[in-house]
Amino acid sequence: ERLEAPDIRLVDCTWFMPAEGRDPKAEHEAAHLPGAVFFDIEDISESDTDLPHMLPSPTKFSARVRKLGLGDGVRIVVYDNNRFYASARVWWMFRAMGHEDIAVLDGGLAKWRAEGRPVDDLPVRPTERHFTPRLNNFLVRDLEQMRANLTSRREQVVDTRSAARFTGSVAEPREGLRAGHIPGSRNLPASDLVTTEGTLKDAQALTALFAAAG
């Protein structure tokens, strides 16, 4: 199995919406891919803001992931137990920090278990590894850049929330957030990118979805 190669690091980055009442870390401890460490999205985020899950500083990101044994010279494979939502986020975080040797496990834990593959409940004690952060600003936009884009429209903004949240016909799940969307943005719900089996749709289907969204 390629996932058993010595240069591979498996990472469980499962996260659930608070309303679901599930504990991703506890679920990881009960059943994870053999050797997988847990990436806590709540912890590995910017703490000096009231906004949730903001990208942390390169220094904080490096300090956290190196303790998970994630660093220079390894290939990282991320997965989750919630239809790609968290694993896609963590894939982006590593690439934003300059680590491009990273992949997402198609189908995540659900597909892995459905195929009868082994899971483990043993604690993983990774060896700390140096991580060199190199922030890729091309993959990140701040508030001022987003505001400027309202006028320039140089970049296409894609809103991956549900259609109901995009149109504002339902309330946001987080208290205090206004319903609706950024002016000029297009809607392509993340849930539309995944098959009923929880795997990513093929290239032809994805191309059609993006084209339909404009």
Per-residue pLDDT of the chain (214 residues; tens, 9 = 90+): 577 788 999 999 999 988 899 999 999 999 999 999 999 999 999 988 888 899 999 999 999 999 999 999 999 999 999 888 899 999 999 999 999 999 999 999 999 999 999 999 999 999 999 999 999 999 999 999 999 999 999 999 999 999 999 999 999 888 888 999 999 999 999 999 999 989 999 999 999 999 999 9
Q: Is 2-138 in CATH node 3.40.50.280?
A: no
CATH dotted code for 141-213:
3.40.250.10
In the structure encoding, which two tokens stand for residue 209, read together?
């979805």
pTM: 0.93
Question: Residue 99 contacts by C-beta under 8 Å, 6 or more apart in sequence?
Answer: 72, 76, 131
Where does the chain hold its CATH 3.40.250.10 domain(s)?
Answer: 2-138, 141-213
